[in-house]
Chains A and B, each alone.
Chain A
């Protein structure tokens, strides 16, 4: 789940973690869908970023991650379980880029 700066929040995003004040009181529950009003409320509370549902977009380009994946698997051979693991990881990486 990505941690998104408040200025990049958009209506429709969902909180991946409850929003709490300094004393631990829950202000918005996990799963709350953001609206314009809720976003400005968060801004007014002086919070700079919140956890949002969904995969984080990795900092490195997709090609680089996929090349590193090939490199990691370069010595292991292609037995059915390893092929399945590699396929699952590859699809998992590709899905992170949407």
Chain B
């Protein structure tokens, strides 16, 4: 008997998101009465076609544990049981929950980036030996290491998380001898994912060319992890009720990697943006901003913490001004809260303000990445990028976000070099010199730019975007390398025949080589509220650097053949062009011929080594070529 035809209902649209449970902080919070209630979170992860792993569009979780000599079976999040119950229950003892949590948290971070940038994110290309191929998925190994460590591997395009037994003599909040997992710490997962995302945008930022580059990588990853917490309203409400609205008081949100800090026996959280726990009294003490700190902090985490603290200060200042009216309404105009718990409605409203502010700060920090120079970035550059990016998105600063950021940075001693004042106007990046504009318009004409613009939105296919950007970069390279190469100096490159000979030459033309690193669109809001599109182009060049200045001069002038360099000195420029008008809005450059910058990199590399035992035996980390730059940086 032939099968009866089924009745076909109208096709269902896929849901917009998938609910997955995760720890809001890390498992240690479950064992403290006051934090247990807020430690569970259901994350809304963008819906995608998932295979067991989980393996999706951006991530592939592969659970190998080489130290234990075993593998853990991949979780299938499409299992109907799991779909019906928002994924597995948070359980430390089940590796499949670990896979679910890293996936959910990393996807949340990815989504925050995409929302801020208005386009899909790409991972950095596979390395030289892999022919700079497209990498669709970042690999996630939740149990890769047996040590207190977690890092992003730029070579393997992978996140490696560690685990280790907590100390039996001084375990903090952990179970003595119990296993601590890096992949179950919300902060650590967000932090490492951010490293990978930042590397996808700026692959030269992992080179320590000055004291700020690695620190910026660290700080930025901390900032994203920190403010990601503030986007979860439930957690925020409870914290606000607890601290009576004063988010500057000690609270879990502001302390990163809490469990790791506890487990290795140093009290309090590892990287606390706002204060530290006094080793004698074990009491938490706020850290007063001190502009001199930045002068003495050399270690990337310590330096990074200053930047994190500055951004957090800015957040607090904005939050306070946003809730001032609420407090006045709630207190009959006095602004002084009575004793006791605050009204739940007030806590709810304050939480919403905090979450809004945090969301904006997070967007601001991420968007600033499009406005950074492609190489040798420092904190001052980042401040200028923040201010410029925000002005491009919110032309009118009536909420005083920009002023708050500038003020907070100033109080921490972070100033950009070579600006006339600390007003928002003078901090914004400038366009090219007026007399250079015709050259830009000739070489990068409006009509041509329209053709290299990748079709790159939140729905584009990522491989196609990658192919289009590559093709676009090649065409722009051809334009810039055209007859006479007049644009070199305007974008900080040395493109003519008379350029220093420490810069590699093309075999074909005998002229200096350069790279077009990136071509990407950036959305902004024009002065009359309309949405505009800029094209971001990054051009870079590298030059052999020598610690010996006379050798440098000899190589530059061609008196000796270029020897193996002591270091690579990089220059380049980020150019933002309005796609509609063809106007070059900013040219953010680091000159390849700049003698002062070359000298400062030389001084940075040849300064006193840190004198640690590791430096005695393994050499100075600044000049050593590490295959895994983050592996040592993150070892606690």
A binds B: no
| Contact surface of B with A, Cβ cutoff 8 Å | none
Contacts from A to B (Cβ < 8 Å): none
